[in-house]
Amino acid sequence: MATEEVLHKTLRNADGKPFAKYKGITNNFVFDDFELIVDEVQNDRAGHSRMRVRVPMRLAAFPEDTYSNRIREIALRDLIARRFWESARTHARSPIPKTDGGEVYIPRPGQEVLERGSVVITPYFVECRFTADLPSSGGKVNANATEELIFGRIRRIIYESMVFSAYKQSKLYNHIHTVENAQAIRDALPSMGLVGFIGLGAVLPRRDDDLAPKVDAVPFSCDESLVVTVEVPNGEPVRGMGVRCGFTALTGPSRNGKSCVADALFAGIHNHIPGDGREYVVSVPTTSYIIGEGGRPACSVDISMFVGSTPEFQDTSRALGPVISSPMSELVSISEAVEMGCGLLILDEEFSNPCVLRRGFLAVDDAITSVSELGSAMAAEGVSVVMVTGDESAIRSADHVVSVKGFTASGVDVERVSHDVTFARPVDRYPVSKGIVYEKGRKDVSVTAASIRCVEIGEYKVDVPVAGLFDMSQTRTLADALVLAREMMDGSKSMMEVCTLAVESVMGDDRSVENGNGMHHAYVRPMDVAAVLNRHPQMLAIQKR
């Protein structure tokens, strides 16, 4: 550790010298009101330096009840990250005048409240992790500008985001209480026989950038017969429509909100910020959205519960192919999701193949047993189904039918048709990484987040269009988890074990206060890591029977 005087002296000695002299400030500097930890100094003016700031809790002064349990701690960390980003955008978005540095960056949080590696809270301090561009003039160290960066810009950001007095208490507690209530509803779903919940008054349609609800959107409502009431830790009980375990068909006129309801339920795997409109739309955390993905690969996936034989595969209990058809891709995706513990499948006829959703008219000899025929049997095995459909045969096969008209849901009684079918869970697969090429250029292992739902492994880009990823920080976590998974995929561990261990390892490292890792990370589900592996054409998985 070093003092403020040491920092000033180091900068003065380096002033006007080559940029590489900045390496001398790689240290822990303790000031009167905060600690600056410079983990890594950029190599040149085009790079970014990794830093952390710690504010002692005696000065940050966040009350203990703001982080007294895990969900409150996650909510507070998320809020601090948001405020830090806003303040950095205000005070350090552009270079310091007459220099080419001075910007401060932290990933921008989206609408989801996630466990973020950019902020850590302990009983002793609050820590934020970020990058800063050290200022230079003509490629030379600029000591005065660097002091302005640290004691001007960074200190202002600290006092606007990392101390309790900077927040309006009502808004801070509203953020924490909203998240805690949503989590309480999610935790209560199994005991209530539910897989999802949509609060009355929720605003489901999204703006084009998905960063806010649509203006003038119709709030969600439902018949009283569908309403359930959930006790929450903060405030009055929350009322909303419960999505019951089993096979639920969402039907009704076109352009009246069915797909919005399905989309909101999928987004409900994560909590949302106050004002998002979906604060109290929640679903079981293992929810999967299934669409047709013609052209994706399959590696030893058991789809025999849906189709006994097909010209496309020699053995449907080990479906294998580098490029598969759209109908088979849905069945493969369902099996992969169930393999990873999926508790709720969501399908929408707009993005699905008709033969996957229901058996066609006069197609009694169709080799595929449709999802609607298997829906109730799947639910009996712990995999509920929500299907957006207007097909009569699919609706009559459902355990529950909900009509959505103008974002108002109503229960519908129809004459139900039962099917004498059974559903068997797929056989576990054990991934092997030896076939995947991770090399790119001079890098032996290159895995990067190309976009929110696209990961580049080596030189191959893997798209996962319906993964539970809503934030680039999640995708970066997933990419780093894939690097760790590479060493674990030796055929001895199941897909579930590999992906769970990889995610836990990344997140565990982020929680450590011994390093500055995690700035770019946010929680990702193991099943989304598996979704990427399953779509890589060089992936090898084996079954052990």
> pLDDT at position 209, please?
83
0.75 cut: is pTM over it? Answer: yes
What pLDDT, in 10s, does the model give residues 304-337?
999 999 999 999 999 999 999 999 999 999 999 9
Give residue for tokens 């052209």: 295
Domains delineated in the chain: 2-167 (no CATH), 185-411 (3.40.50), 429-543 (no CATH)
d(CA 60, CA 51): 19
Question: pLDDT of 47-98, one tens digit each?
Answer: 999 999 999 999 999 999 999 999 999 999 999 999 999 999 999 999 999 9
Q: What does the pLDDT read at residue 514?
A: 87
Q: Is residue 382 pLDDT above 90, yes or no?
A: yes
Q: Given this model, what pLDDT does residue 361 score? A: 61
Are the C-beta atoms of residues 299 and 356 closer than 8 Å to each other? no
The rounded distance, in Å, linking the Cα atoms of 303 and 314 is 12
Contact 166, 126 (CB under 8 A): no
Find the mean pLDDT for residues 353-362.
83
Torsion on CA atoms 159, 164, 165, 169, rounded to nearest 10: 140
How far is CA 244 from its chain centroid?
24
Per the prediction, the chain carries an average pLDDT of 96
Q: Does the pLDDT value for residue 267 go beyond 80?
A: yes
pLDDT of 362 reads 46
Among 472, 533, 488, smallest CA distance to 116 is for 472
Q: How many residues does the chain have?
A: 545
Tens digit of pLDDT for each residue in 229-248?
Answer: 999 999 999 999 999 999 99
